[in-house]
């Protein structure tokens, strides 16, 4: 169990470093940047109480903000993602609330991978909408920001799925 | 309910940080994390610079050639010089130059800043202009001991007075945040005669920028109902790829600024 937690933390830190040092410098078509660290928010333990979950999400976003010098944009987006995450998992994926404690996206066999992906993309979309609309901070620039969010959601999702295939336990390679 | 409150609290903190970001160049530059970040960034940049050495060398050589030409100045040669060098020599306006390197550069945000490796210790001051060998880059907005932050022309609040090289019709160049290779030129009177491919340079009305720095060329324009053209300029510089820049200051800047302000209170 402890080894498992250790491994999860190492993978988490690696993803953050990857995000800050490498992915932030990528701009596909000079425009889209994969934010694969959103994956971490989706994978954070489902047994954690909501209070801690919110703090964890906020802190992950804040770390990204400090290194990418984006104020509190990522912190805001991450807090929203972790706040709605469990609701989406119980309502859209049909995981009973009692079983949420033992739910793990990488190990679950009850949920269809496609459904899991859709929920993940929804979370990414919310993250990006907050990120880009708060960055624009003007009604005039809002349509552009929303378009940016949608395009970036596709990029982030594709990259995240690649990462999942790489880190998922061998038995079940799926999101 | 408790969690909703916590959620709202955290979002509020996040929002406060975002609002603080409007003055972000202050917070980042002066924080410990900022300092650490820039020293890491400097090292990383050292590696990336290695790969662009050839093109940068070429550029510096080209510039050297132009400067040599300038030293052997006679009137015929003058015609060949790039516009800004010409302006500075002809009118004898004293500009001071500080060569600087780009530490961190962003072009993808709506509000892009460039961090340079020169600071107050090197004599950099707020409102100094930042240029490459021929193009305008932006304006210094904050200075720390060893670094300074330049607000790029690719910043939705940036505003550069510019005019056409061929005639004296002028306007202002702004960025709409969409495309990092293009900017819009506004307030150009529709009586002006312009053509696709015309060169746009900085204007002497700016107290901060020297006249004659290249901004871009006209890519397309239309004449709407109003009295002003809608012009799209293609930028001269690829701002993603800048490495070496100059921080320049007009020696009589403050004096000029004071004079330009004159009479404003009366209005």
Which residue range is the domain that position B200 belongs to?
31-260
| A73 to B18: CB separation less than 8 angstroms, yes or no | yes
pLDDT exceeds cutoff 50 at B8: yes
A87 Cβ under 8 Å from any chain B Cβ:
no
Rounded to an integer, the average pLDDT of B243-261 is 80
* Domain spanning A2-167, CATH class: mainly alpha
Q: Domain coordinates of chain A in residue numbers?
A: 2-167
* Long-range contact set of residues B41-48: C-beta below 8 Å, sequence gap at least 24: B41/B103, B41/B104, B41/B115, B42/B103, B42/B117, B44/A21, B45/B101, B45/B102, B45/B103, B45/B104
Predicted local confidence at residue B92, as pLDDT: 54
The verdict on ipTM greater than 0.85 is no
A65–B17 CB contact, under 8 Å? yes
User: How far apart are the CA of B196 and the nearest CA of chain A, in angstroms?
Assistant: 25
The residue among B156 and B1 whose pLDDT is bigger is B156
State the Cα angle at A14 between A12 and A16, rounded to 5°: 70
Residue B36, domain CATH: 2.40.10.350
Per-residue model confidence (pLDDT) at position B45: 67
A75-98 average pLDDT score: 89
Inter-chain residue contact A141 with B110, CB threshold 8 Å: yes
Kindly state the tokens that stand for A47: 């047994």
Which residues on chain B place their C-beta less than 8 Å from a C-beta of chain A? 2-3, 6-7, 10-11, 13-21, 24, 27-28, 31, 33-34, 37, 44, 107-111, 156, 177-178, 180-181, 240
Q: How many domains does chain B have?
A: 1
Residue among A33, A55, A70 minimizing CB distance to B21:
A70
- Residue B39, pLDDT score: 65
Domain assignment present for B78: yes
Pick the closest to residue A100 from A57, A53, A48, A55 (CA basis). Answer: A48
- Kindly report the nearest CA distance between residue A114 and chain B, in angstroms: 29
Q: What is the mean pLDDT of residues B172-184?
A: 87
Q: What is the pLDDT of residue A74?
A: 92
Q: Between these two residues, B229 and B77, which has the higher pLDDT value?
A: B229
Contacts of residue A163, Cβ cutoff 8 Å, sequence gap at least 6: A15, A36, A39
Residue B84, in any domain of the structure:
yes
Q: At what angle are helices B32-51 and B53-71 packed, to 10 degrees?
A: 90
- Domain for residue B7, yes or no? no
Contact A54 B107 (CB under 8 A): no
* pLDDT of B74 higher than 50: no
- Min distance B169 CA to chain A CA atoms (Å): 28
Mean per-residue pLDDT for B129-158? 88
Least confident span in A68-72, B3-7, B69-73, B86-90: B86-90
- Cβ neighbourhood burial of A60 (10 Å; 0-12, 13-18, 19+): buried
Mean pLDDT of chain A: 85
pLDDT single digits (tens) A93-129: 888 888 888 888 877 777 888 888 999 999 999 999 9
CB B263 within 8 A of CB B72: no
pLDDT in tens, A36-49: 999 999 988 888 88
In a domain, B162, yes or no: yes
* CB-CB contact of B85 with B70 (8 Å): yes
């Amino acid at each position: 169990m402890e080894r498992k937690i250790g491994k999860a933390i190492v993978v988490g830190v690696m993803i953050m470093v990857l995000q800050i040092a490498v992915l932030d410098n990528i701009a596909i078509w000079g425009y889209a940047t994969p934010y694969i660290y959103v994956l971490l928010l989706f994978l954070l333990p489902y047994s954690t109480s909501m209070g801690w979950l919110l703090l964890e999400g906020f802190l992950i976003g804040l770390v990204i903000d400090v290194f990418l010098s984006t104020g509190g944009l990522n912190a805001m987006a991450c807090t929203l993602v972790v706040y709605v995450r469990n609701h989406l998992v119980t309502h859209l994926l049909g995981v009973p609330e009692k079983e949420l404690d033992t739910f793990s996206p990488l190990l679950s066999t009850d949920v269809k991978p496609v459904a899991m992906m859709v929920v993940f993309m929804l979370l990414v979309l919310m993250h990006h909408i907050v990120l880009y609309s708060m960055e624009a901070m003007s009604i005039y620039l809002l349509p552009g920001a929303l378009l940016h969010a949608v395009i970036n959601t596709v990029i982030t999702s594709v990259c995240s799925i690649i990462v999942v295939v790489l880190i998922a336990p061998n038995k079940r390679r799926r999101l | 309910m408790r969690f909703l409150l916590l959620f709202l609290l955290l979002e509020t903190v996040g929002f406060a940080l975002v609002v603080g970001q409007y003055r972000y160049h202050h917070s980042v530059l002066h924080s410990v994390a900022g300092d650490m970040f820039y020293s890491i960034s400097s090292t990383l940049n050292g590696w990336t610079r290695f790969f662009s050495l050839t093109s940068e060398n070429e550029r510096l050589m080209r510039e050297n050639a132009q400067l040599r030409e300038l030293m052997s100045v006679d009137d015929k040669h003058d015609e060949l010089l790039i516009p800004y060098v010409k302006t500075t020599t002809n009118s004898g306006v004293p500009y001071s130059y500080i060569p600087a390197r780009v530490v961190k550069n962003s072009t993808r945000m709506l509000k892009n800043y460039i961090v340079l490796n020169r600071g107050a210790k090197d004599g950099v001051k707020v409102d100094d202009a930042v240029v490459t060998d021929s193009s305008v880059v932006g304006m210094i907005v904050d200075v720390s001991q060893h670094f300074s932050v330049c607000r790029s022309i690719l910043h939705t609040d940036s505003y550069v007075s510019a005019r056409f090289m061929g005639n004296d019709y002028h306007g202002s160049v702004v960025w709409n945040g969409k495309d990092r290779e293009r900017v819009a030129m506004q307030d150009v009177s529709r009586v002006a005669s312009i053509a696709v491919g015309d060169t746009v340079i900085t204007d002497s009305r700016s107290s901060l920028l020297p006249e004659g720095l290249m901004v871009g060329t006209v890519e397309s324009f239309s004449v709407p109902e109003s009295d002003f053209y809608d012009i799209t300029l293609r930028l001269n510089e690829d701002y993603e790829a800048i490495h070496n820049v100059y921080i320049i200051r007009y020696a009589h800047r403050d004096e000029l600024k004071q004079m330009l302000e004159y009479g404003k209170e009366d209005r």
